[in-house]
Amino acid sequence: MNGWFVAAGTLLAAASFVHTVSGSRFYAQARPCRESGGGAYGAWLLGRCGFQLVTTDLVLGAAAFLSLGFGALPRSLPLELFLTAVYGGWSVAWPAALRCERASARYWRRLCHWVLFCTVAALAGIGAAH
């Protein structure tokens, strides 16, 4: 058993639940009228589809980490490094997007998902080393 991977998987499983329940409700409230001009609905719909990609990423990441952690999957350094890189990448890309958009401190606190991704990447890296 690798407790580091179990911890990473548990965090992602919890995040996927919160993301699906709270995030879906929050995102649905921002839905513009389909007939609204200026492409608002199309932009919202693209974001909605991206939202579901994140859901998939969280669920599959949780499954992979928990499977590695509990020994259901054999240890594989390339897989472990790939998972570390994915969440390391998320932990860089997310704040980079906030910075590019010059997001205020309010949004850095509200959209602090990058802290989760950085934590998961650290747990994955430590787990891969053990």
The pTM of the full predicted model, rounded to 2 decimals, is 0.87
Higher pLDDT, 52 or 125: 125
Q: What is the pLDDT of residues 40-50, one digit of tens each?
A: 888 888 888 88
Hey, where are the domains in the chain? Answer: 3-129
From CA 103, how far away is CA 51, in angstroms rounded?
19
Q: What is the pLDDT of residues 67-105, one digit of tens each?
A: 999 999 999 999 999 999 999 999 999 999 999 999 999
Which residues have CB under 8 Å from 15's CB, separation 6+?
A: 58, 116
